[in-house]
Every structure is written in structure tokens, then in C-alpha cells.
Structure 1
């Protein structure tokens, strides 16, 4: 009996299979509310672009019951999630996009945690009461303080070498 594990590494590696890739996009690229898109919402948005796809077909793709979408569906799914179609086909593109999406997810989590603090909420409330010009001035001051702190951090670490 032949061992098929030396064949298509994309098919043999679960994290690289089409189903896993698609589900990663659903789990990672979420709307503002923080809950993942429904199959129906994705299908509706794709159909609005002129590509016919049903929620049940997306469900089959996500469950692995279908794993070979047409190029048209692959392109439409990639477009919906804002990734290149090669994300589904090329290991290097997949790894690069996945790395970037994981960085974005970590940054979004950090922003959610910051937004939950009383200091940030108070700053946001006060900024909301300012004129447009006042908000620009506050943003400029924040940028200046950020740059100063970054320079201090780099100065502390730069003297070690």
C-alpha cells in the first residue's frame, strides 16, 4: 500500500487545506461587532457583486464537504475577505497573509483592551466634545508624545550594543 503523505503537502497539512484556510478567514476577519460573518451574509455580499453563490455552498466549503471551488468562487471569497486568491493556493502567500492577519488580530485585541480602560474612555469623551480643530491638535500632541516615548525606548535599548 502506498503512503500518500509525501504527495500534496497542502492537502496533507490540515492548516493548509482549503477548509481550514476559509474557516481561518471567517474567524479572523470579523465585522465591527466582533462576531464572525454568517454564511448567508458572505453569500449575499458575493451575490451583490454578480457572482452567484449560496449560503449552503459556503457551508459545504467550510465543513469540507466541498473542497474544490470554481476559480470564480475562489476569487469572490478572496475578494470578500480582502486577501489575494493565491492565499488559498500558494503556501508562501498563505503564510505571509496569515502572519499579517494574526498581527492585526493581536493589535485589535490590544486596542479593545485599551478602549476598556477608564483613562482611554475619558480621553475619548473629552475629545468628542472638542471642535474638529481641537481634535487635530490633540492628535498632533499625542503623536508627538508617542514619538518621544518611542525615541526614549530605542535610546534605552540602543545603548546595549
Structure 2
């Protein structure tokens, strides 16, 4: 189970502006506008680092709105896992090589695309380190 600080940190590291992380000042200013209340950059930093871990409902709603995630992201582990898998995809798609491969695979017919997926799965399995039992059995 991820802590509130972990989730806020993932929002910072994943959701970017102009290819970079938002600053604490940008998040605080945006949350202040969204919530109609005060929000300091120090408070945002404290939430992200876990030094504060009991924000008000208004603060969580503002953070969720700023980063464009449902407020339930902070409470529902299943929803958080689904959103974080979308984050992983978005992060991977920032890599030019990954994007190039994905775009090329999209243009293949269904059978060829499935073959490519199997090849990638096999390569991934080959590159995984062997466990101790596999190494001693000679696998």
C-alpha cells in the first residue's frame, strides 16, 4: 500500500509541464486557485516528503484537480494501481525509441502484431536474471 507521500511524488514525477516536473510554487499556486484557499509551496513539499500526512479534504481535492486525477486516487488502491499503470505507459511513450516501435507495430496486421508481442515477451524472459534454483539446476 502506497503512502500519501508516495502517491503525490508519483504525480510530480509523472505529470509534467513542458517536459519537466512542476515546481512546488506552481503546484501551490494552481491548488490555491482551484480551491479558493491558501496553499503554500512549503506545505506541498511537506506532503510530498511525508512530513505532513493529514491534509484536509479541500487540499486533496485541489491536488487531484491540479494533477487531473480523481480524488479517489489517494484512497482507493485499485484505482491508484490502474492510474499508475497509465502513468507508466505515458512515461514509456516519452522515450522516442518506445514511441517509434509502438507506432510501427500499430501498422502491422493483427497476426504479425501478436507475433511481435510474443517475441518481446521471449526477449524479456531471456533478459531476466535467473533465480538461485535455476542457476544450480543448470537451466
Say whether the fold is shared (TM-score over 0.5).
Answer: yes
Residue of structure 1 equivalent to 2:108: 150
Corresponding residue SS for 2:31: helix
Structure showing greater Rg: 1
Bigger relative contact order, structure 1 or 2 (CA pairs below 8 A, ≥6 apart): 2
Q: Which contiguous aligned blocks of 4+ residues in structure 1 show a shift greater than 4 angstroms? A: 111-114
Aligned-pair distance for 1:155? 3.4
Aligned residues: 112
CA-to-partner distance for each residue in 1:67-121, whole Å, 9 max, x for gaps? 011010001001111111111111101101001111111112237975xxxxxxx
RMSD of aligned residue pairs (Cα, Å): 2.6
Residue of structure 2 equivalent to 1:52: 38
Q: Distance in 2 between matches of 1:112 and 1:146?
A: 11
In the superposition, relative to structure 1, how do residues 37 and 157 fare at CA in structure 2: closer, same or farther (>3 Å)? closer
Normalised by the length of structure 2, the TM-score is: 0.70
Unaligned regions of 5+ residues in structure 1, if any? Answer: 1-9, 11-15, 115-144
Unaligned regions of 5+ residues in structure 2, if any? Answer: 116-139
Q: Find 2:69's aligned residue among 75, 83, 88.
A: 83
Normalised by the length of structure 1, the TM-score is: 0.61
Q: Distance in 2 between matches of 1:20 and 1:146?
A: 34
Q: Distance in 2 between matches of 1:108 and 1:146?
A: 17
Q: Find 1:104's aligned residue among 73, 77, 90.
A: 90
Aligned-pair distance for 1:150? 2.3
Residue pair 1:51, 1:76 contacting (<8 A) in 2 also: no
